């Protein structure tokens, strides 16, 4: 069984499509260089699975990003999925406060998301490779990520969507059902499929393959399952991108840091890769030729 995949399926006698995502190796690579508390890992894993599911519902040549931020113990979560199903994610949180919270929780207990993200905001960004950019603000209506996104899609797209997300120590997974855009209303069928999806346990979602899950849940329906697509962790950071970021500091500021520390070190927060720039490298970045080329790239 492939460990990191997205798999689509469609109900042949109902105007409903489905997707299932399972992340293991890629998820472990995302958190390999972090020490996220269990609460943070759980919500970040769910949001990562949800981002892949949303990416599969729209045709993009670029990326889709979900950003959740707030003033509480959980400050920020960013998850990204690109059209080639490469993914990355990051979270920021109050370390001391989160440690204190986890001591008060019963085993397996998960605080409501709106209790962690105080004054929270959800933003979905679709960035096309051609430069077009769409950004939508999501109303934080619901107790968890699945409910928030279900309500958003029902309101903004007028499409019924059912999402179930789960996380274990080593994996995260999710399933999505959605009415097709040109569906013929059949509330009885939709309600039945939605209720059947609710019966799926966390263990089943994380441990079973798509074919087994579909047969267990929807054995009375004719379902066509498509070939699985591989998912991988990949960061898009590069020396060139960090160089452009340093240019925004200005030469005087960069040179001042060099004089104090001999070099400028920048670590990518997504993959923990380090980039070092000494005095010669800074001089090259701010050389007239590079400065002109980098300025052009911003337009």
Say yes or no to pLDDT of 100 above 80.
yes
Confidence of residue 259 (pLDDT cuts 50, 70, 90): confident
Q: Which is nearest to 133 in space by CA: 65, 69, 85? A: 65
Token code pair at residue 36: 């996220």
User: For 228, which DSSP code?
Assistant: P
Q: Yes or no: say if 65 and 50 are a contact pair by the CB < 8 Å rule.
A: no
Beta bridge partners of 241: none
Q: Yes or no: say if 125 and 64 are a contact pair by the CB < 8 Å rule.
A: yes
To the question of domain 239-297 being in CATH 3.40.50.720, the answer is no
Residues with Cβ within 8 Å of residue 127, at least 6 apart in sequence? 62, 63, 64, 65, 133
Token code pair at residue 115: 């209790």
Q: Within a 13 Å sphere around the CA of 276, how many CA atoms are in the beta-carbon half?
A: 4
The whole model's pTM is what?
0.82
Q: Residue 185's pLDDT is what?
A: 67
Rounded CA gap, 139 and 120, in Å?
9
Instruction: Provide mean pLDDT across the span 5-24.
Output: 95
Lowest mean pLDDT among 120-124, 225-229, 271-275: 271-275
Instruction: Provide mean pLDDT across the span 25-32.
Output: 91
Confidence of residue 184 (pLDDT cuts 50, 70, 90): low
Provide CATH 3.90.1280.10 ranges for the chain.
239-297
Rounded CA gap, 54 and 4, in Å?
16
Instruction: Provide mean pLDDT across the span 61-82.
Output: 92
Say yes or no to pLDDT of 86 above 90.
yes
Rounded CA gap, 133 and 280, in Å?
36
Q: What percent of the chain has pLDDT over 90?
A: 51
The CATH number of domain 5-233, selected from 3.90.1280.10, 2.130.10.10, 3.55.30.10, 3.40.50.800: 3.55.30.10
Tell me phi and psi for residue 53, to 5 degrees. Answer: -60, -45
Provide CATH 3.55.30.10 ranges for the chain.
5-233
Rounded CA gap, 196 and 176, in Å?
12
């Amino acid at each position: 069984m492939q460990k990191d995949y997205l798999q689509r399926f469609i109900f042949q006698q109902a105007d409903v499509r489905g997707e299932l995502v399972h992340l293991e190796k890629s998820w472990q690579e995302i958190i390999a260089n972090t020490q996220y508390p269990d609460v943070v890992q759980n919500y970040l894993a769910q949001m990562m699975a949800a981002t892949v599911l949303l990416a599969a519902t729209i045709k993009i040549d670029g990326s889709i990003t979900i950003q959740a931020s707030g003033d509480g113990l959980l400050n920020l979560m960013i998850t990204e999925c690109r059209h080639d199903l490469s993914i990355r994610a990051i979270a920021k949180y109050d370390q001391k406060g989160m440690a204190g919270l986890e001591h008060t929780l019963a085993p397996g207990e998960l605080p409501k998301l709106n209790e962690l993200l105080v004054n929270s905001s959800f933003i979905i960004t679709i960035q096309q490779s051609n430069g077009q950019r769409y950004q939508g603000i999501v109303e934080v209506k619901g107790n968890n990520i699945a409910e928030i996104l279900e309500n958003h899609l029902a309101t903004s797209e007028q499409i019924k969507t059912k999402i179930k997300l789960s996380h274990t120590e080593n994996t995260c997974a999710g399933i999505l059902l959605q009415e097709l855009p040109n569906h013929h209303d059949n509330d009885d069928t939709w309600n039945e499929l939605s209720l059947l999806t609710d019966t799926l346990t966390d263990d089943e979602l994380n441990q079973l393959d798509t074919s087994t899950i579909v047969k267990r849940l929807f054995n009375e329906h004719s379902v066509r399952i498509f070939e699985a697509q591989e998912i991988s962790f990949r960061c898009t950071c590069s020396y060139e991108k960090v160089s452009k970021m340093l240019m925004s500091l200005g030469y005087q500021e960069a040179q001042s840091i060099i004089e104090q520390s001999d070099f400028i070190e920048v670590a990518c927060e997504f993959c923990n890769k380090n980039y070092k720039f000494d005095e010669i490298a800074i001089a090259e970045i701010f050389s007239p030729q590079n400065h002109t080329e980098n300025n052009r790239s911003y337009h």
